[in-house]
Amino acid sequence: MHTTVNAMRHLDSLRIIAACAVVVLHYSDYFKDLAVGRFMVGHVWHFNLFVDLFFVVSGFVIARQYHGDVGDGTAIGRFLWRRVARIYPLHLATLAFYVAIALALSFGISQTGNPARYPISDLPAQILLLHAFAGERLTFNFPSWSLSAEMFCYLLFPLMVAITARRKVLAIALFALPALANTLWNVLMGTEPWAEWINYGGAFRAVPAFSLGIACYLYRERIARWPAVPGLLMSSLAAFMLLGSWLTPMAALAAIYAIAVLTIQPDCSGRDTWLSMLKLDRFAPFTYSCYMLHIPVATVVITFGSRLLSFASPEAKLVLAPLAVIVLGVASVFSFRKFETPARRYLTALYDRRFAPAVAAAPISQREIAQ
């Protein structure tokens, strides 16, 4: 029997590792009233930079799938709709979950120690995916700020393709110039390092990473010829995860960029490494589901669970952490298979029937479904 080899098994493996790291970061914060929680928060803060790894991977995958297929208005419209069809249904579902909580709070049905997280006034920005530009705070399902940043990159993608179509060296400028602009803004305006921009400026934080992914795709043949250093990828990843909290935010961001490129290299050359041998790429389709659902699951299992259950000691509530992880795993598989994929196929077919009835639209690939 012929077995199809995943040509992006390293990037897919790293995606699921990154998603799990973000879960560890955010779930640790739910237990910061305990010593173990405070220890974790202090030593895994740099896991937030794994979101930038998602941006790099997204740039590479989107370029691989669409770089030669956004040459006219029809193709651009189909590309943007397909991206919306991928990210929007689950975003809207998780947003509706928190809007329900906001309504319960407003009617006095429930209480919270953080009412600023549920402002109805933020709904327009949330619905329009504008909350990674100039939001005052993280609200509702707060990891969704990265979707707003992703959508900004998708809107820029056709322009990036036009710029790099004839001179791919300009892809390097598309990475360097936004990074330089972010740095200058940081220095002149006295903001926090742009590696920490989230709701305020997170969209601009994403552009260099997304552009780096595109550049790696365009230079994939040259990257494939780089000499292989056995163990370098895994050792770099392990060192970052264990020691990255000692780095400054910008140094940690540079490390993430380096790890992303090191991960792309074996996929370009087609060789195996210790990372690919773990076969974690089989879980990659559930990355987005895991990322978007981990906070709603924590709200139900950890927050509500802590209120409803009586524990013999404060430390006893730590049992809710592994329970939340189990629930998250089940919810992610269910969401991907029973909600996200059917919704995406329906929306894509709807668009093609309405706007491209006479054109045989490209079918949705498994790579698109998983990304």
Return the pLDDT at 226: 92
Tell whether 3 is covered by a domain.
no
| Residue span of the structural domain in which 229 resides | 9-370
pLDDT digits (tens, 9 = 90+) for 162-218: 999 889 999 999 999 999 999 999 999 989 999 999 988 999 999 999 999 999 999
The Cα–Cα gap between 266 and 226 comes to 9
Tell whether 59 is covered by a domain.
yes
Tokens 């809207």 belong to which residue? 92
**Whole-prediction pTM:** 0.92
- Which residue, 234, 200, 209, 172, is CA-closest to 54? 209
> Which phi and psi angles does 140 have, rounded to 5°?
55, -130
The Cα–Cα gap between 277 and 117 comes to 42
Give the CA distances from residue 237 to residues 50, 104, 176, 206, 245, in Å, rounded to whole numbers and listed in that order. Answer: 11, 43, 24, 21, 13
Return the pLDDT at 365: 52
Question: What mean pLDDT, rounded, does the chain reach?
Answer: 90
Cβ atoms of 149 and 156 within 8 Å: the answer is no
Helix (H, G, I), strand (E, B) or coil at 200: strand
Return the pLDDT at 199: 85
Cβ atoms of 273 and 6 within 8 Å: the answer is no
The Cα–Cα gap between 288 and 22 comes to 12
Tell whether 29 is covered by a domain.
yes
Q: How many residues does the chain have?
A: 371
pLDDT digits (tens, 9 = 90+) for 231-288: 999 999 999 999 999 999 999 999 999 999 999 999 999 999 999 999 999 999 999 9
Return the pLDDT at 364: 54
Tell whether 4 is covered by a domain.
no
Return the pLDDT at 280: 93
Tell whether 94 is covered by a domain.
yes
Return the pLDDT at 368: 54
- CA-atom Rg of the chain in angstroms: 21
CA atoms in the 13 A half-sphere facing the CB of 65:
26
Q: Where are the beta strands (DSSP E) in the chain?
A: none
Burial of 35 (0-12, 13-18, 19+ CB in 10 A): exposed
Tally of domains in the chain: 1
Band (pLDDT 50/70/90 cuts) for residue 363 is low
Helix axes 232-243, 249-269, angle to 10 degrees: 160
Tell whether 2 is covered by a domain.
no
Q: Considering all CA atoms of the chain, what is the largest pairwise distance in Å, rounded to the nearest integer?
A: 67
